[in-house]
């Protein structure tokens, strides 16, 4: 399943409206098929892996990061049916599919066909990779990541507004990778006007990853940018399951105040600035209420900077 989860990440940011799924087919200890959801959402991971395995799939085990879909679509047959037809003997699943068209039905079809099932294997990791899809299905809104590039004292810029650069090359390259993995990049109007950021993906080989670029503003957005009037408009976005909010402090604070941030990416440089803080008021009633909301995930070194990731836990 570890290899299957890794494979599934190839599709992150490119598979909308479908989730980025991975599938590995193993027979007699050998991998005979590998698939991941292709750009635009089709073919599904199972279809790609089954095509590679071809006749050898008979009697094999399929590892898949999401419950195989149960519903036929104009864009292709249901994966549960394809696995049955191919003669797969055993299916190992990470996460159940919350989509009501499949939810449990995919597994039921496989079981009815006599296929041996193991479910829930490394489910939290699978759900994290497909966070946008799960957010959409369960909460009817995109999964929102807030990115902050800060000094040790929490400044995102000097008081003059100078913000180039707090973090170094490697941290900024990593932030571009995060852009490539997002369906939509969101900035506040102030940041757009003050910094005119180029919100593209500047990583060799990934230049074609072009997330939707949105600006939150009470006034119309410049040509080519999606306009979101307010936070409610964000919840109403239907063509992006993952949003990367890049600043500035007003946008960041409003997202935190509205409890809309699911993941926090903190790029930290070992410098002191004494400048503009990362967040303005977030409507906190008292300090006790600030605790118990964020769990740390991995910390990675990016040159002399560090990236800390936090996940919402309540």
Catalytic residues, by residue number, are 46
Q: Is 314 in the site for a second copy (CB under 8 A)?
A: no
The residue (of 87 and 168) whose beta carbon lies closer to a second copy is: 168
Residue 209 has, within 13 A of its CA and on its CB side, a CA count of 24
249 is in an annotated binding site: yes
294 is in an annotated binding site: no
Q: Hey, which residues between 264 and 303 contact a second copy (CB under 8 A)? A: 264, 266, 269-275, 277-282, 284, 286-287, 290-291, 293-296
Q: Is 145 in the site for a second copy (CB under 8 A)?
A: no
The residue (of 78 and 256) whose beta carbon lies closer to a second copy is: 256
254 is in an annotated binding site: yes
Residue 289 CB contacts under 8 Å (≥ 6 apart), including other chains = none
CB of 156 to a second copy, least distance (A): 9
Q: Is 256 in the site for a second copy (CB under 8 A)?
A: yes
The residue (of 210 and 257) whose beta carbon lies closer to a second copy is: 257
CB of 291 to a second copy, least distance (A): 6
Among 253, 260, 262, 265, binds a second copy (CB under 8 A): 253
CB of 298 to a second copy, least distance (A): 14
CB of 82 to a second copy, least distance (A): 44
The residue (of 18 and 253) whose beta carbon lies closer to a second copy is: 253
Give how many residues touch a second copy by CB under 8 A. Answer: 43
79 is in an annotated binding site: yes
Q: Hey, which residues between 147 and 176 contact a second copy (CB under 8 A)? A: 148, 150-155, 158-159, 162-166
Q: Is 70 in the site for a second copy (CB under 8 A)?
A: no
Tell me the C-alpha distance between 94 and 111, whole Å. Answer: 16
Which residues here bind a second copy, judged by CB under 8 A? Answer: 148, 150-155, 158-159, 162-166, 253, 256-257, 264, 266, 269-275, 277-282, 284, 286-287, 290-291, 293-296, 308, 310
């Amino acid at each position: 399943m570890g290899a299957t989860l890794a494979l599934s990440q190839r599709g992150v940011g490119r598979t909308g409206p479908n989730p980025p799924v991975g599938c590995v087919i193993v027979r007699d200890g050998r991998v005979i098929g590998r698939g991941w959801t292709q750009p635009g959402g089709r073919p599904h991971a199972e279809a790609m892996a089954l095509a590679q395995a071809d006749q050898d799939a008979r009697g094999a085990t399929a590892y898949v990061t999401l419950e195989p879909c149960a519903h036929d679509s104009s864009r292709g047959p249901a994966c549960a049916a394809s696995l049955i037809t191919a003669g797969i003997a055993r299916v190992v699943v990470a996460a159940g599919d919350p989509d009501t068209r499949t939810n449990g039905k995919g597994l039921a079809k496989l079981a009815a066909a006599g296929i041996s099932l193991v479910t829930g294997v490394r489910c939290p990791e699978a759900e994290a990779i497909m966070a946008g899809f799960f957010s959409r299905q369960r909460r009817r809104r995109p999964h929102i990541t807030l990115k902050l590039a800060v000094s040790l004292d929490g400044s995102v810029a000097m008081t003059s507004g100078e913000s180039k650069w707090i973090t170094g090359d490697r941290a900024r390259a990593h932030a571009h990778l995060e852009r490539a993995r997002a369906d939509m990049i969101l900035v506040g109007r102030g940041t757009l006007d003050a910094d005119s950021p180029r919100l593209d993906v500047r990583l060799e080989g990934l230049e074609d990853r072009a997330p939707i670029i949105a600006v939150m503003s009470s006034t119309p957005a410049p040509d080519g940018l999606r306009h979101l009037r307010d936070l409610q408009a964000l919840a109403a976005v239907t063509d992006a399951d993952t949003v990367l909010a890049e600043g500035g402090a007003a946008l960041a604070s409003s997202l935190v105040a509205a409890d809309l941030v699911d993941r926090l990416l903190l790029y930290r440089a070992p410098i002191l600035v004494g400048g503009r803080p990362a967040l303005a008021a977030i409507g906190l009633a008292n300090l006790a209420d600030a605790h118990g909301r964020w769990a740390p995930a991995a910390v990675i070194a990016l040159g002399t900077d560090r990236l800390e990731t936090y996940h919402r836990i309540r």
